[in-house]
Structure 1
Amino acid sequence: MPDSPAEIKTSEITIPANVPVCPVRGSVIYPTMVQHIDASRALSIAAIEAAMQEEKVILIVSQRDKDVDDPQGSDLYNVGTLCSVLRVRKNADGTVQMLVSAIGRASVSSYTRGDFLRADVELLTSEPGKTLELQALTRELNEKFESLISGGKFLSSEAVQTIQGKEDAGEMADFIAFNMDFKLEDKQAVLELRKVTDRIRRVLSLLDGEAEVMSMQQKIRAQVKEEIDRNQREYYLREQMKVIQKELHGGEDGETDETEELRTKIEALGLAPDVKKEIDRELNRLSRMHPDAAEASVIRTYLTTVTELPWNVRSDDQLDIVQAANILDEDHYGLEKVKDRVLEFLAVRRLRKERAERGEIDAAEVNKGPILVFTGPPGVGKTSIAQSIAKSLGRKYVRIALGGARDESDIRGHRRTYIGAMPGRIIQGLRSAGTKNPVVLLDEVDKLGAGYQGDPSAALLEVLDPAQNANFTDHYLGVPFDLSEVMFIATANYPEQIPPALMDRMEVIDFSSYIEQEKLEIAKRYLMPRQLNQNGLKGNQISITDAALEKLISHYTREAGVRNLEREIGTVARKVARRIAGAEVKRVKVTDKDLDRYLGQSRYTPEHENREDMVGVATGMFYTPVGGDILFIETSVSPGRGMVLTGQLGDVMKESARAALTYAKTNGDRFGIPRERIDESEIHIHVPAGGIPKEGPSAGGAMLTSIISALTGIPARRDVAMTGEITLTGRYLPIGGLKEKVLGARRAGIRHIIMPKANEGDLRDIPLHLRSTMRFHPCETADQVLDVALVGGLAALEARGNGGGSVSTAKPKAPRRKRGTDDATIATA
């Protein structure tokens, strides 16, 4: 490249030694060409604008990798094409279209980058080579190009005319390289060759390769045509054979009969027009195929599946509410909320049907209904109640177990392109039910998993959406199937594990754990007869007393449902059966004292209230999915500093203890607790049963009572249990699981319950016989809790604070009623 001057002159165009660069992807421009170039990248547009402001000369150079969006100099080839910019037009979308005339090849010595690329260039001149050699190569190039075109290589007529009209051999080689489907590297190699003879040789080599590819294409095309001709010939021969066989067998045609049988069944289905169009298309394909073809078997299986589906078959709903209520009561004891919801569903369905018969609403509205999800611990009857719902409605019942399903195709089915494809579980369930309006139980919907095959919970979104499931499309069927008349019921143990989008489509009905009285009735009405029958016993051969069943429930099982209870009853029945079969006895009466003989020592021992009022020991209540119970919170004050928490307490319970201690410090003067007694003492809070982790936001009241009792020496009442959280300002916050907690406290002998006033509405869920034998104390503040929980109540604390000295710790006959507050003892008889 010349150092001076800084410009290169060629004919009438002045070419600067440093020019803007416009990178292009996947193409090469050769000298003498006039081309349109579309630019959309910022650096290309900037380069074009710079060229227009300078000498209207730009370097067009190809990228080595067309996928690079922001190329640097290292991403470009070192040989490009210098072009004169003839015209530039800006489009409405921000892109720029440029018309250029290629001047010549240019070598790049260096690239620089600012807002756009610039290059230091040197114009490369072509070298013609020896005249005789050039003539021979030119003739060979012409002949080879014409041979390709005549052999079937497609190029536009304009391109062919342009190439054949070139008199200059170098230009002809360039234009052939530009218009043929050569690789970018090969086109770039042609551009970089200065010697015309070398350029022609390279193009000839590329044309030879193209000729070989064309020859192979023609060979493959001939083979395909031969295969098609053979298949067509075989088809005609098979048709002739079918006619010959039909004549030989007296006019019978099994294959035609099968197709016509399928056609008759499909016509009887009453399909929608768009569905029938697709099914008819598959049927017509089958009729044209050889019966032994592999695809014919696939289509035959598909059409058989279609004909077995209940497209318009329904079972009539039994809308007798009284009869439905009797069926539900016969099959299940308790579960009143669930039964009420089912009867509400029936009532709404009955009124809709009556309105549809009068023409007031569309008939399609009659079958629409909510999606129910039963949530609760195992063994409380979620699955069995669905069977009773189907029985009360007079519908078919289908159970689909979704626990552990990890494949989306379990719901939507497999596409027919796969070997062994089948419909999803929803469509299979409807086929087995035989009606399009069964009760479908989606069992354990919270146990769905997601794998690399997809997320089945996402596939359920369409199934369980009343606005979409009328057009549910199974991958195997490939046509929509109406699921709007299906009554879907889902079950789950842990509703928080159900995806929010899926949960939003369902109405939650919570199943709480059974109380002991309910378990006793279930055992007598359902479990005993079933186990006696399964173990070959008659009703007069064995009897189990109520006391034995109660002990079986409280001392041998700890569960929310009744599954383990039924197992224990079955164990007793088997041991009695052995004694009867061995002629040892003829009949057996099992009492509570006999259980040790049949089942061994008691496995669970429920807590019982303290025998006496104790300082620093308060009674709290807790709830688990297998029922409620009480726990004791013990506080000891000894010389030292700080607070020690033991008993495997969770973070929330630890925070409750700190809040309770802070409240005690804040109100120490009022309660007669010297500040130095708190600051110079080690306060040790312990919750027994240290092997069991404990957590929850409802132990604040019990912890406060235990701490205040230990610091003041005033005993806590042994017959009082409490649940609720204390704030730093002394508010008593609401809790959950009150019913189960109260049942556990009553089992332990507790008679007085301290509860947040905000939970008074939950008392309606507690059985009447328990409400009549217990006293409930709704509280809003910590003072109200202490007034009931401590012997002597709040008066004893205030007496200490006023310097009243020792206070009698005799247990009052009734909790003190403070004037002007809502802490009065309530007997909810």
Structure 2
Amino acid sequence: MQLSDYDKFPTVLPIVAEDELFFYPFMISPIFLSSQPDIDAATMAMENNSLLFVATTKPGHEGERTHEAIYPVGVVGSIMRKVHMPDGRVKILFQGLARGRVLEPVEGEPLQAKIGIIENDSYNQLKVDAMLGILREKIRQLSQLNSTIPADLVKTIEENDEPHRIADLVSSMLSLRKEKAYELYTMENIEERLLGLIDIITGQIEALKVQREISSKVHNKIEQTNKEYFLKEQLKEIQKELGVDTQREEEIAAFREKLEEIKPYLEEDAYKEIKKQLDRLARMHPDSADAVVLQNYLEWVFEMPFGKFSKGQLDVKKVAEELDKDHYSLEKPKERIVEYFSVRELAELRGKKETESKGVILCFAGPPGVGKTSLANSIAKALDRPLVRIALGGLEDVNELRGHRRTYVGAMPGRIVQGLIEAKTMDPVMVLDEIDKVGRTHRGDPTSALLEILDPEQNTHYRDYYLNFSIDLSKVVFIATANELGYIPAPLRDRMEIIIINSYTPEEKFEIARRYLIPQELKKHALRPDEFSISKKALRLLIDEYTREPGVRNLRRKIATLMRKAARMILEDPKIQHIRINAKNLPKFAGKKVFEFSVIDEEPQIGVVNGLAWTAVGGDVLTVEAIKIKGKGLMQLTGSLGDVMKESARIAHSVVKILIDEGKVKIPRSVIPRTAKEQEEGKYPDASEVYKRYDLHLHVPEGATPKDGPSAGITMATAIASIYSERKVDNKVAMTGELTLTGKVLPIGGLKEKLIAAYKAGVKKALIPEKNYERDLEDLPKEVLEHVKIIPVTIIEEVLEEALL
């Protein structure tokens, strides 16, 4: 193809803009077109059988298809082939013919302009030949340094005599930046263009020489390093053959230096043991198995923080502030903790070492989620000491606690020593978590090891099997946690001060959620307080109907659920500025309610009594039902009752029989069925016949739930008395108390939770044992005392007088 085969210039041509490559005349190259204006321009050129103008876009204007975005000088050429690609692009094979210039932009789509051909100027042949000779020489030098330059391209430049063609070939070979390539391309004076190329190639040659020189130096350095490495390895092998190991000598010297550093803080037996093992290591062959064991032993020993103690000063006010800051309620536990540290601070101020509190080990006991571990965290923070948590749950092997003897493969120190290493001080706050779940097996009894750890008379010389010397644990603040005190062996329990942490009341949970849980969860879920809120009523419903637990873990999870849904809504709909959870929309966010509190009956009934029960997740109102059936005086018990509760029912039955016999429970004549003979004679049977001629069936609803305990004694007696006498029981009354055969009412436990449940169920009057009335009322929340009339009772007659209508 030649220009003469097409229309004369200047002429209007479609324009394709190229973002990356810079094209030169006489090049045949594929061009991939992805933008629609470029595809339209190529299509127009082919349909009109015209030439195409390819121009390069200016830096920073890539992707734009306007006259301002392209360089005015480009390549005029023809499309040899056009192919549509599967990915939607179009590939054209473009042959450059001549340099062209935009003379006048033409409006319309695709991009078009009036294009003129740039003619080559005349030049001094001698000068140009001399420059071409220099250029060819430089290219030969460059090709020797740069292996990426194709040999056939160098050969073409050598054999060609047309200066402009050579200039284009050299420019394409150099991969210049667009600005520099365009600057050379637009030079109409061939002499200037060749001089520019010579300068560029000379610079590249110098850069490559420097690069090669640096590369050579680096290579020599690497060779030298490798040589030194091999020589050192050979030297090591020679030293091994001779029995000399300098590295090992250096390690042993370092161990000896560390031993001297910690010597002032070691007991005499500890120093002797470490020195003895260090001397043994120095005498051993480095490849022996014992040497590896001793090496590991010494590494563990020198990681121990001998002589290192926390810098924090004991300040009782700071402890109290930290406890109040992190925990709501829990007044008695917090008071006892402050007392414990008050004694220690006073002893420090007066310079006394032996104090009552030195050996006191606190044990927080209570159901899950009430804040036992959290209290330990607050103590550590207040004392400015590191916290180490040792999980004892499921621990069966005593060696896990005391350490393995060094004769075992993989032996290591026990968890106590590892805890000190982790804390990097000898006086951390160490939490012995789940101390009630330590197991006893054929591998030993870990609780026996805990006796030595927690006994103040012994833990000053605690011996770890692995270390094989005594360490002082008296500076460690041990805090144990447990769910069930009954599972802790008595000797171990005797060494600890038990602080009972009861389950939270609904009002306490409300305040904890408002002050701590909601602000903490807002941070975790990247929500702002102005984006999410929950009403007081909705929060109380969440506590009462969606969670039933002693602590607040499930409550935290439910609050997190609400916030996750809120976060999703805010993301999906940017128009939502604030989400407020109230009682109406709570089911939409939290789902169906899970729990319902038992509510008392609306009307008094015969044989139906409200009892009060304690559960692991709080109190509940437990209804006791009784019916009588004509029979022979037998009693049937149902409702998944435990042995103690069955005994309480039998005691209650016997007590009511005595009351009927003594006339303290009046039985109407009409209640007792008469025999035919009694009807003929017009006689009525004695009151005692009521429990001889009827069978009694006692039932506690929710039969799938196991129930046990003695505190339902007076409740069962009231139900039996009600059904025999056919007197209704006050539906506003609830009761709890253990009953003896003589009719006395004995005290019970869990009164706080039981009366809170009574208050929630709508009870107006609660009957409790007098002993509980004297000692436990101060623990009750104010709202319970204000709404429930609490009546102390000592004998069953008082109970029946208050309950039966």
What TM-score does the superposition give when structure 2 sets the normalisation length? 0.65
- How far apart are 1:534 and its partner, in Å? 2.0
1:539 corresponds to? 529
- How far apart are 1:526 and its partner, in Å? 1.6
Deviates more, 1:534-543 or 1:365-374: 365-374
Q: Residues 787-825 of structure 1: CA distance to partner in whole angstroms, max 9, x if unpaired?
A: 21122xxxxxxxxxxxxxxxxxxxxxxxxxxxxxxxxxx
Change (3 A) 1:297 1:364: farther
- For the pair 1:421 / 2:415, whether they are aligned, the reply is no
Question: Secondary structure of the residue that 1:593 maps to in structure 2?
Answer: coil
Alpha carbons 2:340, 2:357 under 8 Å: kept: no
Change (3 A) 1:645 1:364: closer
- For the pair 1:766 / 2:780, whether they are aligned, the reply is yes
Q: How does 1:228-627 map to 2 (within 5 A)?
A: 241=242, 253-269=246-262, 270=264, 271-356=266-351, 361=352, 363=353, 365=355, 368-583=358-573, 585-627=576-618
Question: Secondary structure of the residue that 2:295 maps to in structure 1?
Answer: helix
- How far apart are 1:770 and its partner, in Å? 2.2
Residues of 2 paired with 1:667 and 1:319: CA distance? 63
- How far apart are 1:651 and its partner, in Å? 1.8
Letter paired with 1:585: I
Residues of 1 paired with 2:312 and 2:790: CA distance? 46
Change (3 A) 1:592 1:318: farther
- How far apart are 1:530 and its partner, in Å? 2.1
1:671 to 650, 665, 669: 665
Alpha carbons 1:318, 1:392 under 8 Å: kept: no
Letter paired with 2:510: L
Letter paired with 2:288: A
Residues of 1 paired with 2:803 and 2:314: CA distance? 53
Q: Residues 724-777 of structure 1: CA distance to partner in whole angstroms, max 9, x if unpaired?
A: 012121101110000010111111111211100011201111123322332111
- How far apart are 1:303 and its partner, in Å? 1.5
Residues of 2 paired with 1:589 and 1:701: CA distance? 47
- How far apart are 1:451 and its partner, in Å? 2.8
Residues of 2 paired with 1:406 and 1:609: CA distance? 48
1:106 corresponds to? none
Q: Residues 520-552 of structure 1: CA distance to partner in whole angstroms, max 9, x if unpaired?
A: 111112211222222222211110111111111
Q: How does 1:146-161 map to 2 (within 5 A)?
A: none
- For the pair 1:782 / 2:796, whether they are aligned, the reply is yes
- How far apart are 1:568 and its partner, in Å? 1.0
Question: Secondary structure of the residue that 1:368 maps to in structure 2?
Answer: coil
Residues of 1 paired with 2:359 and 2:572: CA distance? 57
Question: Secondary structure of the residue that 1:586 maps to in structure 2?
Answer: coil
1:167 corresponds to? none
- For the pair 1:644 / 2:636, whether they are aligned, the reply is yes
Residues of 1 paired with 2:615 and 2:241: CA distance? 77
Residues of 1 paired with 2:326 and 2:495: CA distance? 28
- How far apart are 1:288 and its partner, in Å? 2.4
Matched residues, number: 544
Residues of 2 paired with 1:690 and 1:631: CA distance? 12
1:757 corresponds to? 770
2:625 to 629, 634, 649: 634
- For the pair 1:706 / 2:735, whether they are aligned, the reply is no
Residues of 2 paired with 1:709 and 1:257: CA distance? 91
Alpha carbons 1:701, 1:782 under 8 Å: kept: yes
2:222 corresponds to? none
Question: Secondary structure of the residue that 1:776 maps to in structure 2?
Answer: strand
Letter paired with 1:763: L
Unpaired runs of at least 5, structure 2: 1-237, 668-686
Question: Secondary structure of the residue that 1:290 maps to in structure 2?
Answer: coil
1:719 to 718, 732, 756: 732
State the Cα RMSD in Å. Answer: 2.0
- How far apart are 1:494 and its partner, in Å? 1.4
Letter paired with 2:753: E
Alpha carbons 1:371, 1:488 under 8 Å: kept: yes
Residues of 2 paired with 1:423 and 1:702: CA distance? 57
Q: Residues 558-614 of structure 1: CA distance to partner in whole angstroms, max 9, x if unpaired?
A: 111111111111111111111111016221100122121112211111111211122
- How far apart are 1:313 and its partner, in Å? 1.6
1:696 corresponds to? 709
Q: How does 1:5-20 map to 2 (within 5 A)?
A: none
Alpha carbons 1:630, 1:744 under 8 Å: kept: yes
- How far apart are 1:429 and its partner, in Å? 0.1
Q: Residues 458-508 of structure 1: CA distance to partner in whole angstroms, max 9, x if unpaired?
A: 221211111111111111101111111111111111111112222221111
Unpaired runs of at least 5, structure 1: 1-236, 246-252, 792-829
Alpha carbons 1:367, 1:484 under 8 Å: kept: no
Alpha carbons 1:557, 1:604 under 8 Å: kept: yes
Alpha carbons 1:753, 1:774 under 8 Å: kept: yes
Which structure would you say has the larger Rg?
A: 2
Residues of 2 paired with 1:451 and 1:730: CA distance? 46
Letter paired with 1:744: A
Question: Secondary structure of the residue that 2:728 maps to in structure 1?
Answer: coil
1:820 corresponds to? none
Residues of 2 paired with 1:670 and 1:757: CA distance? 21
Question: Secondary structure of the residue that 2:323 maps to in structure 1?
Answer: helix
- How far apart are 1:240 and its partner, in Å? 9.1
Change (3 A) 1:367 1:283: farther
Letter paired with 2:442: Y
Letter paired with 1:636: I
Letter paired with 2:777: L
Alpha carbons 1:353, 1:366 under 8 Å: kept: no
- How far apart are 1:365 and its partner, in Å? 4.7
2:749 corresponds to? 736
Question: Secondary structure of the residue that 1:667 maps to in structure 2?
Answer: helix
Question: Secondary structure of the residue that 1:661 maps to in structure 2?
Answer: helix
- How far apart are 1:645 and its partner, in Å? 1.6
Letter paired with 2:251: E
Change (3 A) 1:289 1:441: same
Q: Residues 280-329 of structure 1: CA distance to partner in whole angstroms, max 9, x if unpaired?
A: 11112222233343322222221121122122221145332222111101
Q: How does 1:102-251 map to 2 (within 5 A)?
A: 241=242
Letter paired with 2:441: G
Letter paired with 2:340: F
Alpha carbons 1:311, 1:481 under 8 Å: kept: no
Question: Secondary structure of the residue that 2:624 maps to in structure 1?
Answer: strand
2:648 to 653, 656, 661: 656
- How far apart are 1:242 and its partner, in Å? 6.9
Letter paired with 2:643: D
Q: Residues 173-224 of structure 1: CA distance to partner in whole angstroms, max 9, x if unpaired?
A: xxxxxxxxxxxxxxxxxxxxxxxxxxxxxxxxxxxxxxxxxxxxxxxxxxxx
Alpha carbons 1:375, 1:491 under 8 Å: kept: yes
Letter paired with 1:320: D
Alpha carbons 2:309, 2:427 under 8 Å: kept: yes
Residues of 1 paired with 2:302 and 2:356: CA distance? 26
Deviates more, 1:478-487 or 1:768-777: 768-777
Letter paired with 1:281: K
Change (3 A) 1:370 1:612: same
Alpha carbons 1:443, 1:491 under 8 Å: kept: yes
